[in-house]
A = this chain, B = another copy of it.
Amino acid sequence: MRMAELSDRSGVPVATVKYYLREGLLPPGERTSPNQARYSAAHVQRLRLIKALTDVGGLPLASVGAVLAAIDGDETPHSTMGVVQEELAGVAPKVSEEAAAWASGLLEEVVRENGWKWHEPGGAAMDNLVAALATAKELGQDKLTERLGEYARLAVRVAEVDVGVVAGLASVDKIIEAGVVATVLGDRIFAGLRHLAQEQVSREVLGGGASPKR
């Protein structure tokens, strides 16, 4: 297919497709003459993935580029997921030295309790978590951080489901793409479910009150 059809099938405007080509997010089509190209179903799928990562996942295009490069590279699923997590986490906001130290200590405890281990510790995901905990502390929300252990135990349960989603897929490529999608969309889906559940539980526990306004 050519530009117009690619644009049509993916729902992405022609000008935007050209922009993605320029930025290297979409691989060039197969040349049929010095200045004509043909695109495949893979291009449509790729555009859909880009839309999912940006619109639903909220990733900046630069991060999408990094994730796509990781998918295309022949890394292991594990290391590809590492890239996804780094990009999904983004740059952690800075917090005060002492709050960060306190948060690291708290997290350390949880890590120990759960018997987690790292070959190369750290990573943006952890930096972000530390920043979020430190921020909660700075805002004086101690109740929230006191429950970290409970959240961690539930997070393990969720992660088990996550891994179940990707395990048992046929090809490595499938596993990688499913892993990326499960991680990025999974966060949104779980957050959405949590919000719905919060409303239900809070009505049960705290009692009525008006339903939230639209």
Contact = CB atoms under 8 A, between A and B. Distances in A.
A79 B205 CA distance: 15
A81 B196 CA distance: 11
Contact of A203 (B78, B111, B167): B78
Copies in the complex: 2
Interface of A: 11, 45, 48-49, 51-52, 55-56, 58, 75-79, 81-83, 85-86, 88-89, 93, 96, 110-111, 114, 116-120, 122-123, 125-126, 128-129, 131-133, 135-136, 138-139, 141, 143-144, 147-148, 150-152, 154-167, 169, 178, 181-183, 185-203, 205-206, 208-214
Contacts of A147: 161, 164-165
Contacts of A89: 192, 195
Given A58-B58, A136-B181, A154-B161, A212 B167 contact: no
A211 B143 contact: no
Given A93-B56, A132-B189, A114 B154 contact: no
A82 B212 contact: yes
A203 B116 CA distance: 11
A129 B211 contact: no
Contacts of A187: 191, 194
A148 B77 CA distance: 23
A55 to B, nearest CB: 4
A143 B163 contact: no
